[in-house]
């Protein structure tokens, strides 16, 4: 087959010690190659598992060791080395669907002035079983209304985004100081400075962690989420129409964190979990919305119910029975 006319698309994949997930991700990328284009896969790895190197080699990817921690640094390693006409992304625990890439390229080819395209994702569990309908259900297609949406609770998933290579030169790299939400920050820069288009159509299976299983990660991202919002929302305050609109957008952005901690507290209380686990979730809610959480601790709300349950005597579960080896 003559491949000289095939277009080159660079795909940036950050990874850290998740070789089994990485293999799934890389396999889903290679599965989409065809006669019209080929992939240059760039794996930025700031982990230490040698199986990640083996996975990259098995799928013909370029493995780049990265000393700096964080997904931003891993993405930058791949982004800096990309040689393709277009640049796409995929996190190591997600999977591209068959419906990815070609619809994006069709839009970019039909609109030369367009700098990038992003689409929908489907949330799945660890076994890749769908958890919900394609998300977002709807979003503004472009311009100021798209930026407003992205600053009001719509987090575009980086794996559903493809941009022209020129975007890297005009917008720059990911902010490595952000150990969370650096992908949201980068996509906001693209949307604010260049022409980015949202199009409906699911193209990525977006793996979710079990609810309530990542308090530390949520708490860390909480601070970075605030920073990214203020970095972009304050210069764009006019798109919200008023200070009240700006405050409402902030609440929408932070609501995901608050909801996570309230639900985690309620579930742990219902399960009779140790009080320190319940209090950790309540503390997360307080960190997110202090005044709202304080009110919900005295009002007849789930957070108050969880707090009162944590003060009750703990249930003692009997030890599991000893099973004879005979």
Q: Tokens 């640049």 belong to which residue?
A: 87
Ordered domains of the chain (ranges, CATH)? 7-207 (3.90.550.10), 215-311 (no CATH)
pLDDT in tens, 196-233: 999 999 999 999 987 777 788 888 899 999 999 999 99
pLDDT in tens, 242-288: 999 999 999 999 999 999 999 999 999 999 999 999 999 999 999 99
**142: closest CA among 159, 156, 121, 158?**
156
Contact 202, 99 (CB under 8 A): yes
Q: What are the tokens at 254?
A: 């932070």
CA 314 to chain CA centroid, Å, is 36
Contact 167, 87 (CB under 8 A): yes
Mean pLDDT within 62-87:
97
Q: Tokens 């949201």 belong to which residue?
A: 184
In the predicted model, is pLDDT for residue 154 greater than 80?
yes
In the predicted model, is pLDDT for residue 149 greater than 50?
yes
What is the pLDDT confidence band of residue 313, given thresholds at 50, 70 and 90?
A: confident
Mean confidence (pLDDT) of the chain: 92
Residue 110: helix, strand or coil by DSSP? helix
Q: Write the DSSP assignment of 252-266 as a string of letters.
A: HHHHHHHHHHHHHHH
Residue 216: helix, strand or coil by DSSP? helix
Q: How much is the pLDDT for 323? A: 38
Q: What are the tokens at 319?
A: 């030890």
């Amino acid at each position: 087959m003559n491949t000289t006319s095939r277009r080159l698309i660079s795909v940036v994949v950050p990874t850290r010690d998740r070789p089994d997930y990485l293999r799934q991700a890389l396999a889903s990328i290679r599965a989409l190659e065809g006669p019209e284009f080929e992939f240059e896969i760039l794996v930025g790895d700031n982990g230490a598992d040698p199986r990640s190197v083996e996975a990259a080699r098995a799928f013909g990817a370029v493995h780049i060791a990265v000393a700096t921690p964080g997904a931003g640094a891993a993405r930058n390693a791949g982004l800096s080395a990309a040689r393709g006409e277009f640049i796409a992304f995929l996190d190591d625990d997600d999977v591209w669907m068959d419906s990815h890439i070609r619809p994006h390229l069709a839009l970019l080819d039909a609109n030369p002035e367009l700098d990038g395209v992003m689409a929908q994702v489907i949330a799945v569990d660890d076994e890749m079983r769908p958890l919900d309908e394609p998300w977002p259900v709807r979003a503004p297609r472009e311009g100021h209304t798209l930026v407003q949406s992205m600053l009001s609770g719509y987090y575009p998933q980086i794996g559903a985004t493809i941009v022209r290579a020129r975007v890297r030169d005009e917008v720059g790299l990911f902010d490595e100081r952000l150990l969370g939400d650096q992908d949201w920050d980068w996509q906001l820069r693209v949307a604010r400075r260049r022409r980015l288009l949202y199009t409906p159509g699911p193209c990525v299976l977006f793996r979710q962690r079990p609810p309530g299983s990542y308090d530390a990660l949520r708490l860390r991202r909480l601070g970075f989420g605030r920073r990214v919002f203020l970095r972009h929302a304050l210069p764009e305050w006019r798109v919200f129409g008023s200070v009240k609109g700006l405050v409402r957008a902030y609440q929408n952005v932070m609501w995901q964190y608050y909801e996570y901690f309230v639900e985690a507290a309620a579930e742990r209380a219902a399960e009779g979990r140790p009080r320190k686990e319940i209090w950790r979730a309540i503390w997360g809610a307080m960190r997110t919305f202090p005044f709202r959480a304080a009110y919900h601790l005295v009002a007849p709300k789930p957070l108050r119910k969880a707090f009162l349950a944590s003060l009750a005597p703990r249930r003692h579960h009997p030890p599991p029975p000893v099973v004879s080896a005979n």
